[in-house]
A and B are shown apart, each in its own frame.
Chain A
Amino acid sequence: MHDLIAITALGGLEPRVDTVAGTILSENPGLALASVHARMGHEDACRAHLADLLDGQVPEVGRTVLRDPEAAFWTGPDQWMVGAPFDTHEDLAAELKARFGDTASVSEQTDAWACFDLRGPGMAAVIELLCPINIRQMQTGDAQRTSIHHLGCFVLRRDPSDWVRILGPRASATSLHHAVLSAMRSAL
């Protein structure tokens, strides 16, 4: 076991939590991520592996499969992001590569993203100040890529539905956090 100490995307040793009027923004460093992109001609086999991993489900366009420990969402044609708890799945990419073999290209994405959970009664009002997603129509399980203050982000609507998970580029975590927190103070 190596002895390097991880820091969070916001640069701290502990994840940051902010609460405004009962709505909570928490930094979530506990997510391992890997992209799975079907190889040309192996799309069906790739989907079969994905279904095998996710209790028979494959996320369709704009959707997630929310389950434990692995979950996944659609990111592009024949392309998905698979997530799992970091503590138990730090080697997610290697595990998936072993599972998918030559049917998919797998790429470690764990630290490409900063993950924030925004949860509470004011969630929708905050999202309205951040990105063009139609949050009032967005359902639990929906996943959309969008732009938050010029940052390409994924927004996933979780269960219960007062909860969204925002994945944004890790190097810009500070800017993203500032944007979300400013929107919370503004809207709530």
Chain B
Amino acid sequence: MSQVNRLDGGQIDRAASFKFKFDGKDFFGHPGDTLASALLANGVRLMGRSFKYHRPRGPLTAGSEEPNALVTLRDGARAEPNTRATTAELFHGLTARSQNCWPSVKFDMMAVNDAASDFLAAGFYYKTFMWPAPFWEKVYEPIIRRAAGLGALSMKEDPDEYDKGFRHCDLLIIGAGPSGLMAALSAGRAGKEVILADEDFALGGRLLSERLEIGGASALDWTAQTVAELSSMPNVRLMPRTTIIGAFDHGIYGAVERVSDHLAVPAKGKPRQILWRIYADKTLLCAGATERPIAFENNDRPGIMLASAMRSYVNRWAATPAHRVAIFTSCDDGHRTAADLHAKGVKIAAVIDTRAQAPQSFDYEVLAGAEVSNTKGRLGLTFVEVKLADGSSRTVECSALGMSGGWNPNVHLTCHQRGRPAWDSVLSAFVPGGSLPQGMSVAGAAMGDFTTHGALLSGAKGAADALGIKTADVPMAEDAPPKQAAFWFVEGAKRAWLDQQNDVTVKDVVLAHQEGFRSVEHLKRYTTLGMATDQGKTSNMGGLAIMAELAGKAIPEVGTTIFRPPYTPVAIGALAGRMRGMEFHPTRLTPSHVWAKERGAVFVEVGNWLRAQWFPIAGETHWRQSVDREVAQTRASVGVCDCTTLGKIDVQGADAAHFLNKLYCNPFAKLAVGKVRYGLMLREDGIAMDDGTAARLAEDHFVVTTTTAKAGPVYQHMEFVRQCLMPDADVQLISTTEAWAQYAVAGPNSRALLQKIVDPEFDISNEAFEFMACANITVCGGLRARLFRISFSGEMAFEIAVPSRYGDALMRRLMAAGEEFDVVPYGTEALGVMRIEKGHAAGNELNGTTTANNLGMGRMVSKKKDSIGTVLSERAGLNEEDALKLVGVKPLNRAEKITAGGHLMAAASPVDAAHDQGYVTSAAYSPEVGSMIGLAFIKSGDARMGEKMRLVSPLTKSEVEVEVTSAHFVDPEGGRQRA
């Protein structure tokens, strides 16, 4: 199909052609086109169906304020619904589909909704589907969701990459029209760091759409020269295709740069979009203005659009929506459109001006004091009916109609910090008012300066005022004072669309008013006016005006709603950036990771860490086989586990012991150098926060461990105590978690194994290095290391630490040296089994609700000193007779399962919350016991040894008979670990 509506001129590259597809049909356009301009050039006005009534629709605008021409762009996984055809840059091979229609945009079955429109008015959902209640979810909503709505998601994973970035500037200029360009020129020449962002792919704003002169030359030439000068300045950064989506606190702006949306597929390694966070010392909003439509009967037919949009299509893109066009205007600006179209050879059927004193033309007919009363044309405009000044009617044949109801400044970003726009009675429009976001000022049409010269001047002045620089010289330009009188809707119109995206008509607003929705916020929610993705950029004012008239008030008395971020819709992918899938958070690898991978370890995420969960060997088909073997072999001989992930914090200083005394509920002051002690940390409310060990390497030097998960919060807490509670204590803290590779070497042969590694001058016999000893040593012929004799498994055990870079080598060495002992590497599962067998508390028990008393460590809380949490841990409510106590449970029938999370009931009591006796926190199969075992908190548990109870899980309808035991299933006397 040829480009029947393509005119001469325009800012498109006719030397090249792009082939594209719309609704399965092939078309051609040119570089520089948008999808909308290319479709119009090809004579396509109908681009989609409306949200609720499935009315045929074409573009209303030529920009991002577009409510109608929403298409699904691209296909497959890259299909993106609800894309504005008016901003989608054309590329070779583009495919697009119209939305919300079936079987086709021209014949849409759901258009029956339009005939039923009487039933679908404002509040229709609330009134119609109230009864019976279950029907809403099961019947009504699915039907409505299918019938109403816009495009659908592809349901496939987004194949593109997105970046996030950060930029700083002295002056952020939002919008590259005349005021923005002039401001950038002023600030750039003064040497300031400037960012000039514009959502369009070409810089120039309205200048690209007008036939204007600046400084005696064409505005296009001035624009090109200015952009060239700005490009040459290293301190000015031009960001076309970049939408400032929000103004946030303290001069921070969000911006979406569409890096690759004008390409079929992003280049390899390149992001589709970048979400920038811009830190701007000062900001000048030069966002321009949006033309106002007029509400009249059937004003939504394809071909009816804003007059300024027509001017853009004709001047910039050389694409006319039709060859016979009428203009409906309430101000002089409509005449400018008529003149421009006429100059391009488009036939002007008539200019219908609401004013009796309309300017006349020699080139076309002007109907003064007239109004459009209705339109015709099922899939596109064919006629408009005009009510003339004398009351008579006349039919004007035309295939497109431009509407011009004056202009509204684009105040949106001024509202993002709750600034409320102010009413300007001269312009009959809201202008920026109230408190603007920090550092923001406004220039050009966004401030109500509607002339080109005014825009240039206020841009230069805005930059000068913001930055304290000299105002630049401003070239001469068109300076006709804007004449725009308020004209919002044609009297008597009913099915006259205000909000075309959400299908809200004048009638809906009238109905809402009748039903008592008088506040503008209520009106908005009841009718959904302005609540579509365009945030009512072309519709809010019309709705307000009608409400004001119905209420007999002036518009400013009715008030206005304000706008919120984002200015235009943002792809979720851009907000996610690279934080997707495995990159959602950073991964932490242990020093033995490479080795463990070679061994075929199965890994588990623990916090951000990847830890070996178990190490399967040939012939093992179930994880339990691996874990049972690892436990058995460790307890029989020796096992090695990477425990680098435990937090390690270096605590030094003359007051280090005093500091730990404050931090832990148990005493540390008298801990001897060369010894380790278990420590329990409480929160100030007396609840256990974390546990670990503190090793005293010197009088003034401790190494403290934390649980893997709490390393960050505990460090933060320690800094709080140090800086805020003990500001004069001589204590210095630093994390050394990742500096040291640390391995647990556990089992009866652990010493024998380590003796092969530890340099001979260090005696690690039981006499010289007893349980809970620690020392700085060397291994493998002189490598500095730390050795701790601590045990989580209950076996004779050590933890050995070397600088992380040698961790891989040390693990390999331990495995080689341990061959004679049948050494086994064990993972977190075996670690968990052994600690449950030993009755050691871990995260499941330190779960944010338990006290030292619950954990059976009540006597550890020292009364002789003050520590965090001591005072509140003594509260009566935490020390009741029947307080929960940590105990063990095992099934009476060895084959039965203990499930963590199950609750315990007395042998013969009802199963309900009132009779709850406690719950199981951890469970595992114990090779040592020969059945599953669990750790549990049970009321007065320590006094109930041997009691038979029922472990119930009403959720899974399971019930197991269990016996209460000591939590120490293995070696309760602790002989093994002291051996």
Contacts and interface: CB of A to CB of B under 8 A. Distances in A.
Indicate if A touches B (C-beta under 8 A).
yes
Interface of A: 1-9, 11, 29, 35, 37, 39-41, 79, 91, 102, 105, 107-113, 128-129, 131-134, 136-137, 149-151, 169-176, 178-179, 182-183, 185-186
A14 to B, nearest CB: 13
A133 B168 CA distance: 9
Interface residues of B, number: 65
Contacts of A9: 805
B756 to A, nearest CB: 13
Interface of B: 161, 163-168, 193, 268-271, 274, 277, 279, 578-579, 583, 585-590, 593-594, 608-609, 644, 650, 652-655, 700-701, 728-732, 734-741, 778-784, 802-806, 808-810, 813
B739 A111 contact: yes
Given A7-B805, A11-B594, A171-B609, A136 B168 contact: yes
A40 B739 contact: no
B738 A186 contact: no
A6 B810 CA distance: 10
B587 A174 contact: yes
- The B interface is mostly helix, strand or loop, or mixed, namely mixed
B783 A11 contact: no
29 contacts: A1-B781, A1-B782, A2-B779, A2-B783, A2-B806, A4-B779, A5-B806, A5-B809, A7-B805, A11-B589, A37-B734, A105-B701, A105-B732, A111-B740, A111-B804, A113-B738, A129-B166, A132-B166, A134-B168, A134-B279, A150-B585, A150-B586, A169-B738, A170-B738, A171-B738, A175-B587, A179-B578, A185-B268, A185-B269
A139 to B, nearest CB: 14
A133 B166 contact: yes
Contacts of A39: 653-654, 730, 732
A175 B650 CA distance: 25
A159 to B, nearest CB: 21
A107 B736 contact: yes
Nearest to B237: A136
A179 B161 CA distance: 12
A132 B279 contact: yes
Contacts of A79: 732
B586 A151 contact: yes
A105 B653 contact: yes
Contacts of B779: 2, 4
A25 to B, nearest CB: 14
B782 A109 contact: no
Contacts of B590: 171
Nearest to A37: B732
Nearest to A172: B586
A58 B779 CA distance: 36
Given A2-B782, A39-B732, A185 B270 contact: yes
A151 B700 CA distance: 31
B782 A136 contact: no
B279 to A, nearest CB: 7
B979 to A, nearest CB: 29
A50 B164 CA distance: 39
Q: Which of A4, A110, A176 has the most CB of B within 10 A?
A: A4
Nearest to A39: B730
A132 B168 CA distance: 8
A134 B165 CA distance: 11
Given A111-B738, A128-B165, A2 B586 contact: no
B160 to A, nearest CB: 12
B589 A174 contact: yes
B193 A7 contact: no
Nearest to B235: A136
A40 B168 contact: no
Given A108-B739, A174-B589, A7 B808 contact: yes
B166 to A, nearest CB: 4
B161 to A, nearest CB: 7
Nearest to B584: A150
A110 B736 contact: no
Given A11-B593, A133-B166, A134-B279, A3 B738 contact: no
Contact of A129 (B165, B730, B737, B803): B165
Contacts of A134: 168, 279
A186 B732 contact: no
B248 to A, nearest CB: 13
Contacts of B644: 171
A186 B268 CA distance: 9
Nearest to A169: B738
B193 A6 contact: no
Contacts of A2: 778-783, 806
B650 A107 contact: yes
Contacts of A171: 588-590, 609, 644, 737-738, 804
Contacts of B729: 40
Contact of A112 (B277, B608, B735): B735
B195 to A, nearest CB: 11
B805 A29 contact: yes
Contacts of B804: 111-112, 170-171
A96 to B, nearest CB: 13
A35 B269 contact: no
Given A37-B652, A40-B653, A172-B589, 10 more contacts: A2-B781, A110-B739, A112-B804, A129-B164, A129-B274, A132-B279, A136-B193, A170-B804, A175-B587, A176-B586
A35 B269 CA distance: 38
Contacts of B701: 105
B168 A129 contact: no
Closest 6 interchain pairs by CB? Answer: A185-B269, A105-B652, A40-B730, A111-B804, A112-B739, A175-B586
Given A6-B805, A6-B809, A131 B587 contact: no
A166 to B, nearest CB: 14
B706 to A, nearest CB: 15
A39 B579 CA distance: 41
A174 B587 CA distance: 8
